[in-house]
């Protein structure tokens, strides 16, 4: 598992009978950040002026297929949608596969990933096989946060599919994850929420301070304000150094940006059609928290072209699940719920025919 402050993304695989399509290795540059991006472009064998989608991964370094534990969810999505008449671009993240890190790799945040996405859109617009007026984004988790960020900055995004994308500030995302996981682990609700309050204070130190020595001193002081009873209830007694080390490891630009960013502000600026999907057993991006937040932001921005779908029994990876917890993901044999793919494909076809 990644640190508790991160969105946890694993990957999945499923097989479908597909119409014939062709696949091409492509590359282009994000010149602003000097990142050379490599990926795979799939498109139907017959026809022209196809609508297109660009896939955006979640947090963590992923290759173009989001390959983890032998599963390749983006390959599955790409081939499914190509079989339904779309051109699909999926790319290696910076530092994965063939894509380079670009300049200042230690300073990379979601804003840099948004620049990568815009470069991908620019590339798709150069392809004569693609309808440049029908280029959209599909983002998973953090990718579902980056998609509206990009759409709020350019009119070139024709539609968005958010797969368990976030709708609230990163600190609230982290707090929601912690509360859900702790309650499922057997903590009572009050104790779980008390720990969220403690974690929020640690995050405030990380967000507002850069000097590791200052962070260490402030977290140590903070720990000293909590009683042994609190630490025992929350199972962190004797773990002060581990807490301090976790805080220091999280003192990076990506965490600082993510925890301080409010995607609702981007969603308010999105004018293109939006499909937001989330599973009811998602413990990473809680459907009951994020879907209403996304819908409220779209309403506030007077966007009337959206569809919000809560998928019963699906986890963060869009698998049918029992607990929805991270440690269950690899145990589930299902790759990707067919209803999620079909809803996405049907909506994209309907949207691009207009």
pLDDT in tens, 142-192: 999 999 999 999 999 999 999 999 999 999 999 999 999 999 999 999 999
Q: How far apart are the C-alpha atoms of 199 and 141, rounded to whole Å? A: 21
Domain with CATH 3.40.50.1820 in the chain: 21-167+262-352
Q: Return the exposure string of 302-327: e unless at least 16 CB atoms fall within 10 Å of the residue's CB, then b.
A: ebeebebbebeebbbbbbbbeebbbe
The pLDDT, as a whole number, for residue 52 is 98
Angle at 333 between CA 12 and CA 63, to 5 degrees: 15
**pLDDT for the residue numbered 19:** 67
Kindly give the parts of the chain with pLDDT less than 50: 1-16
Residue 306, beta-bridge partner list = 274
Torsion, CA 225, CA 230, CA 235, CA 237, rounded to 10: 40
Query: What pLDDT, on the 0 to 100 scale, is given for residue 4?
Result: 29
- Topology of domain 21-167+262-352, CATH: Rossmann fold (3.40.50)
What value does the CA radius of gyration of the chain take, rounded to a whole number of Å?
A: 21
Residue 73: what pLDDT?
85
Q: Which two tokens stand for residue 299?
A: 């309403």
Residues ≥6 apart with Cβ < 8 Å to 296: 264
Phi, psi of 30, rounded to the nearest 5 degrees? -90, 95
- pTM score > 0.85 for this model? yes
Q: What is the pLDDT of residue 12?
A: 34
Q: Which two tokens stand for residue 310?
A: 């809560």
């Amino acid at each position: 598992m990644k640190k508790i402050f991160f969105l946890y993304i694993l990957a999945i695989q499923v097989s479908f009978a597909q119409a014939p399509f062709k696949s091409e290795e492509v590359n282009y540059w994000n010149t602003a950040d000097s990142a050379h991006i490599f990926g795979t472009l799939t498109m139907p064998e017959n026809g022209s002026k196809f609508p297109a989608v660009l896939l955006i991964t979640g947090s963590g370094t992923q290759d173009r297929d989001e390959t983890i534990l032998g599963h390749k969810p983006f390959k599955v999505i790409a081939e499914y949608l190509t079989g339904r008449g779309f051109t699909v671009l999926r790319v290696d993240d910076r530092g994965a596969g063939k894509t380079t890190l670009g300049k200042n790799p230690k300073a990379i945040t979601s804003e840099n990933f948004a620049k990568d996405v815009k470069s991908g859109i620019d590339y798709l617009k150069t392809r004569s096989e693609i309808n440049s007026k029908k280029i959209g984004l599909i983002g998973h988790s953090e990718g579902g946060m980056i998609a509206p960020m990009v759409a709020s900055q350019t009119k070139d995004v024709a539609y968005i599919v958010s797969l368990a994308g976030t709708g609230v500030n990163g600190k609230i995302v982290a707090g929601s994850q912690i509360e859900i996981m702790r309650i499922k682990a057997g903590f009572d609700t009050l104790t779980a929420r008390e720990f969220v309050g403690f974690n929020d204070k640690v995050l405030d130190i990380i967000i507002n301070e850069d000097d590791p020595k200052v962070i260490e001193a402030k977290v140590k002081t903070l720990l000293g304000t909590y009683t042994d009873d609190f630490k025992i209830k929350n199972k962190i007694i004797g773990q002060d150094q581990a807490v301090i080390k976790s805080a220091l490891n999280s003192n990076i630009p990506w965490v600082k940006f993510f925890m301080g960013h409010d995607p609702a502000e981007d969603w308010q600026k999105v004018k293109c059609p939006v499909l937001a999907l989330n599973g009811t057993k998602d413990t990473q991006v809680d459907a009951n928290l994020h879907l209403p937040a996304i819908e409220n932001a779209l309403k506030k921005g007077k966007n009337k072209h959206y569809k919000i779908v809560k998928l019963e029994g699906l986890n963060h990876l869009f698998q049918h699940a029992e607990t929805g917890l991270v440690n269950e993901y690899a145990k589930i044999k299902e790759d990707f719920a067919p209803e999620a793919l079909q809803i996405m494909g049907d909506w994209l076809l309907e949207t691009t025919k207009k």
